[in-house]
Structure 1
Amino acid sequence: MDQLNSTMITPDRERGQHLRFEERCSIRIFKKLGYSLRKIAQQIDCSPSTVMYELRRGTGERRGSRGRFPQYSARRGQQNYEINRSRCHKAHKIAGAQPFLEWMYGKIKHHKWSLDACVGYAKREQLFPAEQIPCTKTLYNELWAGNLEIHPADVPEALSRKSHKNHRVRQNKHILGKSIEERPEEVMERIHCGHWEIDTVVGHKSGKESVVLTLLEKKTDYYMAIKIPGKDADSVMTALEVLREEYQEHFTEIFQSITADNGNEFARLCEMEKYGIYVYFAHPYSSWERPQNERHNRILRRFIPKGASIERYSAEQICSFADEINALPRKALGYCTPEELFEKFLDQVYSVDKVQSAS
């Protein structure tokens, strides 16, 4: 059968490229003819040192004092070349990072940390030598290549990344209170503490059952998760009243503003304004206007999967989930934890009270 698209012509090797088997066969022939290293190099267009190294590579060792000296073999040279090439590569980036990797596996499996949180926290606390901590991009590359002892499903949100689309702002059909458009810019820019976002996390969508009321402080990323009897306005207001009793006279300093969506469960939220708290409502279908709270609700889903009934979890368990989230280092916070920063905020609030009482 005719081979219309084949050729027997071998392209010439460019100077500087590795020797091929054909050049090794030529070296064997020229060596038998008694050519010098320099003359062989001229014939195959390479450096004399290349010929010298190739002769060493392809010539076997003499194991005894009898018999003839070993001759150069092109096949042996090609075999040794391929073995050396298989070993010739850059050292694997995670080869010397086993102590860090073992620590990272524990944080991911038991505390739901992300790869970036592990890298940033380890560097900040200097838990390992700097050369033993791979960068976040390297770890994700190794994860997708299957070189880590964890699966992408074990890494939070690794399989659920979505591209962002442009959103159009919709006007509210029923007005529950002041629009988010009236909210000061300093709230969005996270300049001061005391500004919160509020939402609910549901389990089964069918039937009436308990839900989780979540609040997030925007500057510190501090997250509260409270189990309430149902997704209704009375349950939400009861939970907020409990918080008001807990913080007492400091309630309005800690909760200066609250931003919510237009759900019916927040229909009575404006009642908080009688205590001096500013309440704002986002546009409908605009969860991106409350991005931090939505992002933390996704983190909560690591502990409470979608579709799982909230009734399966006690109030103490849900609070412990929030504690785990608040102990998670954040890149946006310089790999500090929300718990650390919120405690500092509370210290400032209560220290002012002590100074005033002392004076």
Structure 2
Amino acid sequence: MDYNNHNTTLRTNKHLNLEERFYIEKRLLAGDSITSIASDLGRSRTTIYNEIKRGSVVQIKQNKAGLTYLADTGQTVYKRNRQGSFNTLRAGFIEPFLSWVEEKVRQDKWSIDAAVGFTRYRNMFVRNEMVCTKTLYNYLHRGILAFTPMDLPLILRRSIKKSNLRKYKRKLGKSIDLRDKNILTRKEFGHWEIDTVRGIKDKADEVIVSLLERKSRLYVALRCPSAKAADVKNTLADWLGSFSKNSSLAALCKTITSDNGQEFAKISELEHNGLDIFFAHPYSAWERGSNERHNGLISRFIPKGVPVKTITEGTLKRAIYRCNNLPRKLLGYKTPQEVFLEEVRQLVDLQTVQFDIAI
């Protein structure tokens, strides 16, 4: 539609300059209208109104305060607002950063946030050579990155179920209700969760006894001859004995929390003065959520249907290394191994002690 009274020429993508701002200031002092100023400058009235609003300051004249437009103020505000303005699609200028993230996601199975947080924690790139996690996800969905959403370690939606505590059908030891409530905060070192990982349902096959330290999230995987309660107990006893010989390391394992599986029926016998063993409620996997999560990570290397006996020691060690050297947001983008060793150094000199813990 054409307008007969249209008196301005549209000028898109062109900002007011300092000379135009001084022109506005002079015309306003002369008492000219906004409409005439906009017409003479070839701008819309909205542009002039917005400029006057951002460049006006309070001045006192004849003991009365009033708003006065100043060109210098308008220019200063304009420059300040433009400091954070830049082209958000910077993929072509941050190629080294994008290549590094793509390698970590595709080869090491890191999450996007873990990769971004790790680079910031290590100061690997300066600020203008990288982008934030949200921007990388935008790039991902626009097809700019060299991987797809299905390449990410975990893409799913979790439904929150109501807790339904059931009455114990068996009592293997002390209930988790008796455990110190401070353990839930994860501020104290030395509290572990335990579980088993199976490849196939075969009594003759080996199982993995997995343990996770709640504060550092360090993950330990121990081969066990079978899922029999006696074998699981002996495997756990050997692991505890690997560092219980040194009195300085007693604080490494203060409590262990297990589920009610029959394979853990005898581990309560390992309790002693410095070690308490508790059992979670039935059907309450979230009470040992960290261990369950890491069992999911290791299942990438030990998939369902593959006998544990056929898993080589190199594969198992590589799986544990991946788990313990993955930067975590909840650890300030440190790795579980780093946090664990920081805690151990407070207990004993690492140079004088050997651990039978695969980290």
Deviation per CA, 1:103-129, whole angstroms, max 9, x where unpaired? 112222222211111010000101011
* 146 and 163 in structure 1: CA distance in 2 versus 1, 3 angstrom threshold: farther
Deviation by residue 1:215-264 (Cα, 9 ceiling, x = unmatched): 00001111101222222212212221221331133464211100000001
Q: Is the 8 A contact 2:10 2:43 kept in 1?
A: no
Alpha-carbon shift at residue 96 of structure 1 (Å): 2.3
Secondary structure of residue in 1 paired with 2:256: strand
> Residue 113 of structure 1 aligns with which residue?
110
Matched, 1:244 2:233: no
Question: In 1, distance between residues paired with 2:90 and 2:177?
Answer: 49
Alignment partner for residue 134 of structure 1, among 101, 125, 131? 131
Query: Is 2:301–2:315's contact at 8 Å kept on the other side of the alignment?
Result: no
Structure 1 match to 2:67: none
Where does residue 198 of structure 2 map in the other structure? 202
Given candidates 211, 214, 227, the residue that maps to 1:215 is 211
The answer on whether the counterparts of 1:224 and 1:319 sit within 8 Å (CA) in structure 2 is: no
CA distance in 2, matches of 1:184, 1:99: 48
- Structure 2 CA distance for partners of 1:257 and 1:166, relative to 1, 3 Å: same
Equivalent position amino acid for 1:167 in 2? S
Q: 1:239 to 1:288 in 2, by over 3 A?
A: same
Shift of 1:311: 2.7
2:328: which partner in 1? 330
Decide whether aligned partners of structure 1 residues 93 and 171 sit closer, same or farther in structure 2, where only a CA change above 3 A counts: farther
Following the alignment from structure 1 to structure 2, what is the Cα–Cα distance between the partners of residues 328 and 209? 30
Q: Report runs of 4+ in structure 1 exceeding 4 Å deviation.
A: 15-19
Cα root mean square deviation, aligned? 3.0
Aligned counterparts of 1:234 and 1:275: Cα–Cα separation in 2: 22
Q: CA shift at 1:135, angstroms?
A: 1.6
Spell out the pairing of 1:269-348 with structure 2 (5 A cutoff). Answer: 269-274=267-272, 276-348=274-346
Report the CA distance shift for 1:17/1:117 in structure 2 as closer, same or farther (over 3 A).
farther
- Work out which of the residue numbers 159, 170, 174 in structure 2 matches 1:174: 170
Taking only the aligned residue pairs, the percentage that are identical comes to 37
Q: 1:225 to 1:243 in 2, by over 3 A?
A: same
Q: Is the 8 A contact 1:233 1:265 kept in 2?
A: yes
Number of equivalenced pairs: 281
Match of 1:163? 159
Partner amino acid for 1:225?
A
Distance 2:119 2:330 in 1: 15
Structure 1: gaps of 5 or more residues: 1-9, 20-41, 52-88, 355-359
Q: Which amino acid aligns with 1:277?
A: L
Question: Residue 17 of structure 1: CA displacement?
Answer: 12
- Report the Cα offset of residue 351 of structure 1: 4.6
Cα separation, 2, equivalents of 1:126 and 1:300? 29
**Structure 1, residues 42-66: CA drift from partner, whole Å, max 9, x if none?**
9xxx998479xxxxxxxxxxxxxxx
Instruction: Give the C-alpha shift of residue 140 in structure 1.
Output: 2.1
How far residue 202 of structure 1 moved from its aligned partner, in angstroms, is 1.5
- In structure 2, runs of 5+ residues without a counterpart are 12-34, 45-85, 353-359
Q: Deviations over 1:322-354 (max 9, x none)?
A: 1221111111110111111111222222259x9
The range that moved more, 131-140 or 117-126, is 131-140
Counterparts of 2:221 and 2:326 in 1: how far apart (Å)?
A: 15
Call closer, same or farther: CA 1:18–1:233 in 2, change over 3 Å: farther
Alpha-carbon displacement from aligned partner over 1:85-144 (angstroms, at most 9, x marks no partner): xxxx94414332211111112222222211111010000101011122222222223223
Identify the residue that residue 122 of structure 1 maps to in structure 2.
Answer: 119
Q: CA deviation at 1:307?
A: 3.3
Question: Larger C-alpha radius of gyration, 1 or 2?
Answer: 1
Q: 1:85 maps to which residue?
A: none
Cα pair 1:226 1:318 within 8 Å, conserved: no
Change (3 A) 1:109 1:304: farther
CA contact (8 A) 1:156 1:302 kept: no
Offset at 1:315? Answer: 3.2
